[in-house]
């Protein structure tokens, strides 16, 4: 029996009519909605609602089941544009809302990990990001036709052979674990950006790359020959990961390629490589150290970067259009009088110290001068000056250019600026990790617009006269001092606090001009008596858990971020201008009276952290009734077992000892000190070397556990090498080897600092959400 068909006519409030013929009565409301919405104009922030008479169309019932077309061959439906129900969509994704129509009109979804949600993606969707732990086939999923951006999560590693990618797709990004062949995958012809993750290492010989592809990026593991790869002529950016080290002599690079970036391991000759004529940016990794005297440089090359090992002779006069040049730590083979005339920016490594004849055209300079060269005259036209990560010398005798606009100090700088005259033209001042000097006697230029402090800064600003023109003020990780007696400039637009700040703001005069206010993870003070600026538009918190019921939030607030610990009700919260709201995983909207947020356009909830391999532990399992003792395998018991049974504090003591030993070794290597061997023995003979054994007992999720293990292996190998080379007086160790060893120990020390943060995070994470470990930044392995 033939299926019953009807003719549908859809009218809107403006009187326009759209006719649809031969519509089957077995069509569900959702399918009909998608069919009709494809013909009707799209309005941002709205979705199309269909009504039969005065009754809204049901999504999960067929037309016949809804009584449409039972007795007539032609039916008229009404379409209206309604605001997107952001809060209902968020509740649906959290499994608190049963109506799948809640997603209608939503254009961006992140952290999706449920097959049910993937089966019911709205046709309006433009950006989709899958959750990190999602690793299921998508062959049965119909992706929306209008999808522009698709991003896979960390663990996804499924074949895409049967997946129909939308024609509208412009950006496709794979996650860490993806390592599947894409020979039989049809990539949309309009795809513009293709990015592979860490593990991908498949041949592209039989892959038909889209004719419109503009950007191609490979991850860490990719190391396949490109001799038989057909790159599209549209390609503009090509980026390789760390492991790539293949010859390019027979690779046909597109003539229109503008940016070519190589990773750490690449060390192949470029003498016979046909570099594209339109190439503007070329970046070579840390291991590259091939002769370049016979390389045919593109005439239009504007940016050239070498890694830390490069130290070959080169004639720069042939690069007439070069504007940016970066040289690594080992480079010493250049006469500065033969630099291109158009050079605007140059970065020197640690060993390149001949800077007496810098080009007068130079506008940006990054270098690490030694003591005897701090009085060097810098080019008068210099606009941006950065002192490198190893620089830590007094600047008392240095004359800064009168037109300098930006001054940046990197990692190690920690010298007083009392006797340094800062130019009146300076508008940006940034300090690095180690800086912790008072600014009481420093004359900050009145035109300074941006002031940024690093990790260690914790000095009072009570007697510091902040410039009237200051617009941005950012504090570092450990700043914890009160601002009660600090006069903040009237024109300040952005104020950012670091991780540890947790001071009461009741008596702090926040400028009315302030538009952005951001707090770190430790801030958890009541704001009931704080006068928030009327012009505030962006407000963000970390582990904030105080009620907002009696807080006077500005009516013009457009973005509000409440992460991690926030669980308070948003009932009666009236924010008519709010467009973006980000909430933590602890917050639950189920059964709550929704806030009055009429202009909300984006509601975000971070992907839930994965439960550790030890499994979930319920409250009733953690403690036996009437007993104060911790239950087996509970977080409390795990903490007690750490550090040879002496608890979490002993682990912190072990890591503190490790940090001290590493810092002493690193500091001694800067001056070729003979006492470095003493600190190497301290590492092996104290609890510093035992910290990694304690870390093994923490319940990390799998990815984080691998990173910690890699960091610990790197630490052991690095200290073994350092102990061998530093035994005795180190007279036989070359400057190059010592420089590389310093670089290695620098990253090992950085890993130790990350591990200290991580252990604290585990303690807080177990207290707030037992068995759940918050995500942290990756370590430098």
- The per-residue pLDDT for 433 is 93
For the segment 370-398, what is each residue's pLDDT rounded down to a tens digit? 644 555 678 889 999 999 888 898 998 78
**Is the domain of 97 the same as that of 79?**
no
User: 592 or 89: which carries more pLDDT confidence?
Assistant: 89
Is residue 42 one of the residues assigned to a domain?
yes
- Give whole-number Cα distances, 70 to 4, 25, 88, 302, in Å: 9, 9, 32, 70
Backbone CA torsion sign across 342, 255, 269, 295: negative
The winner for highest mean pLDDT among 5-9, 464-468, 609-613 is 464-468
CATH number, position 69: 3.10.20.90
Instruction: Say how far apart CA 93 and CA 121 lie, in whole Å.
Output: 11
Helix (H, G, I), strand (E, B) or coil at 125: coil
Is residue 565 one of the residues assigned to a domain?
no
**Is the domain of 71 the same as that of 43?**
yes
How many Å is the maximal CA-CA distance in the chain?
Answer: 100
- The per-residue pLDDT for 528 is 93
Residue 449, pLDDT above cutoff 90: yes
Q: Which of 235, 257, 281 is the last residue of a domain?
A: 235
**Is the domain of 229 the same as that of 99?**
yes
Query: What is the mean predicted confidence (pLDDT) over 221-246?
Result: 96
Query: What is the mean predicted confidence (pLDDT) over 549-558?
Result: 92
**Hey, what are 225's tokens?**
């020959």
**Is the domain of 89 the same as that of 58?**
no
CATH number, position 687: 1.20.120
- The torsion angle over the Cα atoms of residues 633, 636, 641 and 645, rounded to 10 degrees, is -150
Instruction: Say how far apart CA 554 and CA 534 lie, in whole Å.
Output: 5
**Is the domain of 297 the same as that of 224?**
no
For the segment 33-69, what is each residue's pLDDT rounded down to a tens digit? 778 777 777 666 667 778 888 788 887 788 888 888 7
Q: Which residue has the tokens 């009315």?
A: 512
Least Cα distance to 608 among 107, 88, 114, 104 occurs for: 114
User: 205 or 647: which carries more pLDDT confidence?
Assistant: 205
* Pair 580, 559: CB distance under 8 Å: yes
- Give whole-number Cα distances, 694 to 74, 648, 699, in Å: 74, 9, 11
**Hey, what are 159's tokens?**
């074949």
* Pair 23, 32: CB distance under 8 Å: yes
**Is the domain of 223 the same as that of 111?**
yes
User: 58 or 643: which carries more pLDDT confidence?
Assistant: 58
Phi/psi for 150 (5° steps) reads -130, 120
Least confident residue range of 29-33, 283-287, 460-464: 29-33
* Pair 128, 143: CB distance under 8 Å: yes
DSSP 543: S
User: 746 or 45: which carries more pLDDT confidence?
Assistant: 746
Is residue 612 one of the residues assigned to a domain?
no
Element (H, E) at 119: helix 115-119
pLDDT tier at 608 (50, 70, 90 boundaries)? very low
First to last CA, the chain: 67
Could you list the residue range(s) of the whole structural domain that residue 285 is in?
A: 245-362
Query: What is the mean predicted confidence (pLDDT) over 284-311?
Result: 92
Is residue 339 one of the residues assigned to a domain?
yes
Q: What is the average pLDDT value for the chain, to the nearest integer?
A: 82
Q: Which of 39, 67, 83 is the last residue of a domain?
A: 83
Instruction: Say how far apart CA 717 and CA 736 lie, in whole Å.
Output: 19
**Is the domain of 293 the same as that of 223?**
no
For the segment 149-193, what is each residue's pLDDT rounded down to a tens digit? 999 998 999 999 989 999 999 999 999 999 999 999 999 999 999
**Is the domain of 97 the same as that of 222?**
yes
Is residue 447 one of the residues assigned to a domain?
no
Least Cα distance to 58 among 91, 99, 89 occurs for: 99
Q: How many CA atoms lie within 13 A of 484 on its CB side?
A: 9
User: How long is the chain?
Assistant: 781
> In percent, how much of the chain has pLDDT > 90?
43
- The per-residue pLDDT for 440 is 96
Element (H, E) at 8: strand 5-12
**Is the domain of 18 the same as that of 141?**
no
- The per-residue pLDDT for 461 is 97
Query: What is the mean predicted confidence (pLDDT) over 321-330?
Result: 89
Instruction: Say how far apart CA 124 and CA 488 lie, in whole Å.
Output: 45
Domain count, the chain: 4
User: 531 or 715: which carries more pLDDT confidence?
Assistant: 531
Least Cα distance to 12 among 32, 45, 36 occurs for: 36
* DSSP string over 427-482: -EEE--TT-----TT----TT--EEE--TT-----TT----TT--EEE--TT----
Least Cα distance to 243 among 218, 221, 272, 216 occurs for: 221
**Is the domain of 199 the same as that of 293?**
no
pLDDT tier at 776 (50, 70, 90 boundaries)? very low
- The per-residue pLDDT for 502 is 96
Which stretches within 587-701 are classed as H helix? 619-622, 635-645, 648-670, 676-685, 691-695
Instruction: Say how far apart CA 360 and CA 695 lie, in whole Å.
Output: 53
- The per-residue pLDDT for 632 is 41
Residue 201, pLDDT above cutoff 80: yes
Instruction: Say how far apart CA 270 and CA 254 lie, in whole Å.
Output: 16
For the segment 480-494, what is each residue's pLDDT rounded down to a tens digit? 999 999 999 999 999
* Pair 206, 181: CB distance under 8 Å: no
Non-local (6+) Cβ contacts of 296 within 8 A are: 274, 275
**Is the domain of 223 the same as that of 340?**
no
pTM of the model: 0.71
Query: What is the mean predicted confidence (pLDDT) over 456-467?
Result: 96
User: 775 or 302: which carries more pLDDT confidence?
Assistant: 302
Residue 248 burial by CB count (10 A; 0-12/13-18/19+): exposed, middle or buried? Answer: buried
Is residue 163 one of the residues assigned to a domain?
yes
**Hey, what are 635's tokens?**
């977080």
Instruction: Say how far apart CA 304 and CA 553 lie, in whole Å.
Output: 49
Q: Which of 312, 338, 362 is the last residue of a domain?
A: 362
- The per-residue pLDDT for 5 is 84
- The torsion angle over the Cα atoms of residues 325, 328, 331 and 337, rounded to 10 degrees, is 20
- The per-residue pLDDT for 305 is 95
Q: Which residue has the tokens 């010592």?
A: 738
Is residue 535 one of the residues assigned to a domain?
no
**Is the domain of 331 the same as that of 265?**
yes
Residue 749, pLDDT above cutoff 70: yes
Is residue 185 one of the residues assigned to a domain?
yes
Non-local (6+) Cβ contacts of 504 within 8 A are: 482, 525
For the segment 426-448, what is each residue's pLDDT rounded down to a tens digit? 999 999 999 999 999 999 999 99
Least Cα distance to 33 among 102, 128, 111, 114 occurs for: 102
Please, which residues bridge with residue 259 across strands? 237, 281
């Amino acid at each position: 029996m033939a299926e019953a068909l009807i003719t549908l006519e859809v009218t809107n409030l403006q009187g326009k009519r759209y006719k649809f013929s031969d519509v089957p009565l077995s069509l569900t409301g959702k399918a009909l909605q998608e069919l009709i919405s494809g013909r009707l104009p799209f309005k941002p922030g709205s979705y199309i609602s269909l009504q039969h008479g005065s009754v809204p169309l049901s999504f999960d019932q067929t037309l016949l089941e809804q009584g449409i077309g039972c007795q007539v061959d032609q039916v008229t439906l009404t379409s209206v544009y309604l605001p997107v129900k952001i809060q209902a969509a968020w509740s649906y994704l959290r499994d608190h809302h049963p109506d799948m129509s809640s997603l209608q009109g939503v254009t961006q979804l992140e952290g999706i990990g449920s097959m049910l949600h993937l089966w019911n993606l709205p046709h309006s969707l433009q950006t989709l990001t899958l959750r990190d732990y999602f690793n299921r086939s998508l062959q049965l999923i119909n992706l929306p036709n209008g999808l522009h951006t698709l991003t896979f999560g960390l663990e996804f590693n499924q074949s895409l052979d049967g997946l129909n990618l939308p024609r509208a797709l412009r950006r496709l990004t794979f996650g860490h674990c993806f390592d599947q062949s894409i020979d039989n995958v049809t990539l949309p012809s309009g795809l513009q950006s293709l990015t592979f993750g860490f593990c991908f290492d498949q041949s592209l010989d039989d892959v038909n790359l889209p004719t419109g592809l503009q950007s191609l990026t490979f991850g860490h593991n990719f190391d396949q020959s490109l001799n038989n790869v057909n790159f599209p002529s549209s390609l503009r950016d090509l980026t390789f990961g760390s492991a790539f080290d293949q010859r390019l002599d027979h690779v046909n690079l597109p003539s229109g390629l503008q940016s070519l970036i190589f990773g750490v391991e690449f060390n192949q000759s470029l003498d016979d490589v046909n570099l594209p004529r339109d190439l503007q940016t070329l970046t070579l990794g840390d291991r590259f150290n091939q002769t370049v005297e016979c390389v045919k440089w593109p005439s239009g090359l504007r940016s050239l970067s070498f890694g830390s090992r490069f130290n070959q002779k080169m004639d720069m006069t042939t690069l007439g259009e070069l504007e940016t040049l970066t040289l690594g730590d080992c480079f010493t083979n250049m006469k500065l009088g033969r630099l291109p005339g158009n050079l605007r920016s140059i970065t020197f490594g640690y060993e390149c110290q001949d800077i007496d004849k810098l080009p007068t055209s130079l506008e940006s300079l990054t270098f690490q001068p030694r003591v005897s060269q701090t009085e060097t005259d810098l080019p008068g036209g210099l606009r941006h000056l950065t002192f490198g990560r190893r620089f830590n010398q007094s600047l008392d005798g240095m004359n800064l250019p009168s037109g300098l606009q930006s001054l940046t100090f990197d990692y190690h700088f920690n010298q007083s600026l009392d006797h340094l005259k800062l130019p009146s033209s300076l508008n940006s001042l940034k300090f690095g990790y180690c800086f912790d000097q008072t600014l009481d006697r420093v004359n900050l230029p009145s035109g300074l617009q941006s002031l940024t402090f690093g990790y260690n800064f914790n000095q009072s600003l009570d007697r510091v006269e902040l410039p009237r023109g200051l617009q941005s003020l950012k504090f570092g990780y450990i700043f914890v001092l009160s601002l009660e007696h600090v006069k903040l400039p009237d024109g300040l637009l952005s104020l950012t606090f670091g991780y540890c700040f947790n001071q009461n703001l009741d008596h702090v005069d926040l400028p009315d001009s302030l538009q952005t206010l951001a707090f770190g993870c430790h801030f958890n003070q009541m704001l009931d008596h704080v006068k928030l600026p009327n012009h505030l538009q962006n407000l963000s918190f970390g582990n904030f858990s105080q009620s907002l019921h009696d807080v006077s939030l500005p009516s013009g607030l457009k973005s509000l971020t409440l992460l991690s610990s926030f669980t308070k009700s948003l009932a009666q919260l009236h924010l008519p201008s709010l467009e973006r709201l980000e909430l933590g995983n602890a917050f639950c909207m189920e059964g709550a009276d929704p806030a009055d947020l009429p202009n909300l356009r984006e509601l975000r909830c971070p992907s839930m952290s994965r439960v550790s391999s030890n499994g979930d532990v319920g409250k009733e399992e953690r403690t036996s009734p009437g007993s104060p003792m911790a239950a087996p395998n509970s977080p409390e018991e795990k903490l007690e077992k750490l550090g040879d049974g002496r608890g979490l504090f002993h682990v912190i003591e072990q890591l503190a000892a490790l940090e001290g030993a590493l810092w002493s070794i690193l500091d001694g290597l800067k001056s070729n000190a003979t006492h470095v061997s003493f600190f190497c023995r301290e590492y092996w003979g104290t609890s510093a070397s035992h910290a990694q054994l304690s870390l093994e007992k923490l319940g990390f999720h799998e990815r984080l556990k691998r990173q910690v293990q890699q960091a610990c292996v790197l630490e052991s190998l690095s200290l073994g090498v350092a102990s061998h080379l530093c035994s005795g007086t180190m007279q036989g160790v070359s400057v190059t080897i010592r420089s590389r060893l310093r670089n290695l120990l620098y990253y090992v020390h950085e890993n130790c600092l990350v591990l200290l943060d991580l252990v604290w995070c585990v303690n807080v994470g177990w207290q707030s959400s037992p068995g759940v470990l918050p995500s942290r930044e990756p370590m430098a392995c």
